Structure 1
Amino acid sequence: MEKLIGILQLKDILNNFPRTVKFCFAYGSAAFKQMNNQSNNMIDLIFVVRNANQWHAENLKLNPKHYAQPLKLFGHKAITNVQEKWGAKIYYNTLVKMPQGYMIKYGVISEVSLIEDLLDWTDIYLAGRLHKPVKILVEPNEYSQLRTALVQNLHSAVHAALLLLPQHFTEVEFYKVIAGLSYNGDFRMTFGENKEKVSNIVLPQLTYFRQLYSPILHHFENCVDIPKSENMTVTCHQDTSPATKIHHLNQLPRTLQVKLVRAWSQGPRSKDTEDCLRAIAYDPDCGEILDDCLRKIVWRSSVTQSLKGIITAGFMKSIQYTAAKVMKMFQTNSQITPLPKLEPSQSKVERIVESVKDQAQSKETDKRIE
């Protein structure tokens, strides 16, 4: 654990950027321990901003070398257009060497785009990142819709995971399914990522997953029983009746519901959403239909965002970054890392969950961003 970057060091990095960030978090192997990964890793950061155009204008003045040629020559407006019109509406600068000596990759996304992904799973890109533990460096304002959207995203992950799981499962399997929601279908998992990535993320972070989802699971006590035990391989049980499946399906994000209706209707023909979801709930292949729809969303966003990365990072950095990923994939280390102990202090993510969990009741399926 001594190789992980601490909160204070991460916050120090933020001093190099415009201060108008509304929400910021670190993720990945430099922030949280992963199995079979002993290298000094690049730090992954996400900056959520209110006005992407203004933020890039300020950042171009502060950090012009972070942006690749020739895109930066066209200015902040062109950068913002690439960010918001291509891929998953996020703009990455990668392999950036900071004055503190760290190598970082940072993504910039507008607050509206992130909220849309969290609520509707338009891309399950950053929504998927936030299904897993992250280190929050800048908390969203207490009046921001982001706070509720972050919690709703976790609720959606639980609804989807329970539909994909059988009647009996273990807590470890539960968190593996959640962590895998945004990896299944990702074309990078076929080449460039470790095939055991999900396990390598979940196993060392089990206590952090439990911290993150414990407040959420209070809302699911009527349909799933996850025993409170230090042994996370103890058998859990869930109600898999059609009535419960209908409930889960009705609470899924809008984009996923649209995909499910089209899959059931065998095309874009207009069908009543409620009737289709009810029929899917009675189908023995309900989980497989859902999995296929999730994969299609993830596949599209992973391909388009990766192609976009060639432009935003530049050709040479793209080659360098991809080569590093491939080398990382071939790393082998059979040493099992002890699981971290649960910290007595309440994490920031848990505080956010606690602050809005009473507001995060079952949302209407037509909930939209104003």
Structure 2
Amino acid sequence: MSRPLVPLLFGASRCNGYIRLRPFSTTRVRTDAAREAEKAALADEQARIYAQFRPVVDAFDAPIDMAVAYGSGVVKQANKTGPPPLTDFIIATPSARAFHATNLRQHPSHYPLYARLIGPSALAWMTDKLGAGLWYVTMVKFGDLEVKYGILSTATLTRDLKHWETLYVAGRLHKPVLTLQVDPSLADPLAANNRAALSLALLNLPEQFTELELWEKVAGISYSGDPRMSVPGAENPDKVRNIVRGPGVLGAFRGLYAPHVAGAGLRWADQQRPGEPEEPEEAKQAGEAEGLEWRGAGERALAQPSSPEHAGSLLAALPLRLRQRLAAHFRPTVAAALLSRQVAAERREIRERRAAAKAAKGSRALYDDAEFWQRVAAQDGFVEVVNNEVRHIIKRPALAQSVKGLVTAGFSKSVVYSLAKFKKWLAGRKKK
């Protein structure tokens, strides 16, 4: 049984015919009757959207470890008009070959002719080795729903969640989605992915910022290096803003990141600082469960420490691949050590700490050194270096996957799908 990860939009799972819910209180004072009414309304909405999209997953005989529905067809965006969009799904499978072998027999029409001819082994190789590791099928019908679904191996998904190898699927899961099925083994990688996203967002924010600004930074990570954002007709330039301001999405972001905000050094800007008088006991209890007591419509100001120690801890919480790239950029070089006594001293100190860690059978890598990241955080312009590395991770796989998608969908479907995206872009331009 998969456990729920986020209320409302992320992690709906059935238990004896009901949707299991997490606590979701969002105001300081609320009557029991109001709480129960809101809980009942939330349960009804969860049940409705789950019942609408779960049959798509049930329609597959192929093995599935995780299935999520995402995009504007599931998570409603602000300023969204026009015909209903395709419903997007991501499906993780323990074996891409086994999935394609079964799916070719069950749903052969989902594949273009050449894909049916080359067989499951070749399809599995193309799935895993090209682009961002997905095979996309578009414009297929499941009942009344028109669907686009991407297939990837669970191993590919896990690597992206933990290490941000491409940030293609990991970036989509930074935002609220509807979880229809998830294997318990993916719970820790999913949580690690969200902790890293929160850390990167905070690095890009000042000491004080609004809650909506925080979620916009989180939601914008996966688009930061995506070439589609700069191609007319590929994506709406206001997409990030519209995602965060969609109906019900604010509560979903709060639930998704509630387990991580307490450990990120966040507080409300109007709360007392250390040494000031404490809040009333009832106020503390109201926010105790989730680390922060969520109130308002996202306009309330949050605050974080402005010290290099705090920024260094955020850098140290980034995924391994990104830390390795940053360590290579900021590591003191031999050439710099010849010109600067300070750099030479830093190189000696780093070597000594790594030798001591090796002797103690501890971490020997520079990218695990907390003091190193504090020094990086004290340098001017380090955030832009971080962002450049994130864009570099995203750009090539996103471009390759876009080209791959044209091949996997087949020529005619690709043309129709691209024209539909261009019409959506034109509609968005006319509103401005």
The two structures have a TM-score, normalised by structure 1, of 0.83
- Tell me the equivalent position of 1:97: 141
2:62–2:103 contact (8 Å) kept in structure 1: no
Corresponding residue to 2:302 among 227, 236, 240: 236
2:308–2:375 contact (8 Å) kept in structure 1: no
User: Does the residue aligned with 2:74 lie in a helix, a strand or coil?
Assistant: coil
1:283-313 Cα deviation digits (max 9, x unpaired): 1212211111111111112111111112211
1:260–1:277 contact (8 Å) kept in structure 2: no
- Tell me the equivalent position of 2:157: 114
- Tell me the equivalent position of 2:241: 199
1:186-209 Cα deviation digits (max 9, x unpaired): 100012111000001011111211
1:99-133 Cα deviation digits (max 9, x unpaired): x1221000111111111100000011111111011
- Tell me the equivalent position of 1:147: 187
Distance in 2, Cα, partners of 1:297 & 1:243: 26
Distance in 1, Cα, partners of 2:266 & 2:409: 44
- Tell me the equivalent position of 1:13: 56
1:234–1:276: structure 2 CA closer, same or farther, 3 Å change rule? same
1:185–1:298 contact (8 Å) kept in structure 2: yes
- Tell me the equivalent position of 1:255: 321
Corresponding residue to 1:76 among 120, 123, 129: 120
- Tell me the equivalent position of 1:224: 266
Higher mean alpha-carbon deviation, 269-278 vs 113-122, is at: 269-278
Distance in 2, Cα, partners of 1:19 & 1:196: 37
Deviation at 1:216, TM superposition (A): 1.9
Gaps of 5+ in 2: 1-44, 269-291, 336-346, 348-364
Q: Does 1:187 align with 2:197?
A: no
RMSD (Å), alpha carbons: 2.3
Structure 1 residue ranges, 4+ long, deviating more than 4 angstroms after superposition: none
Deviation at 1:266, TM superposition (A): 11
1:262-283 Cα deviation digits (max 9, x unpaired): 343699x999434763442111
1:67-115 Cα deviation digits (max 9, x unpaired): 12312210011110000001111111111122x1221000111111111
1:133–1:208 contact (8 Å) kept in structure 2: yes
Distance in 1, Cα, partners of 2:208 & 2:126: 45
1:24-62 Cα deviation digits (max 9, x unpaired): 110001111112222211010111111111111000000
Amino acid at match of 1:23: M
Deviation at 1:333, TM superposition (A): 9.2
Distance in 1, Cα, partners of 2:200 & 2:162: 13
- Tell me the equivalent position of 2:380: 284
- Tell me the equivalent position of 2:393: 297
User: Does the residue aligned with 1:24 lie in a helix, a strand or coil?
Assistant: strand
- Tell me the equivalent position of 2:214: 174
Distance in 2, Cα, partners of 1:332 & 1:245: 37
1:36–1:333 contact (8 Å) kept in structure 2: no
Distance in 2, Cα, partners of 1:93 & 1:261: 39
Corresponding residue to 1:47 among 70, 91, 108: 91
- Larger proportion of helix: 2
Distance in 1, Cα, partners of 2:200 & 2:428: 32
Q: Does 1:210 align with 2:306?
A: no
Amino acid at match of 2:196: S
Amino acid at match of 2:315: L
Gaps of 5+ in 1: 336-370
Amino acid at match of 1:41: P
Amino acid at match of 1:195: P
User: Does the residue aligned with 2:65 lie in a helix, a strand or coil?
Assistant: strand
Query: Percent of counterpart pairs with the same letter?
Result: 34
Amino acid at match of 2:402: S
Q: Does 1:85 align with 2:125?
A: no
Amino acid at match of 1:173: E
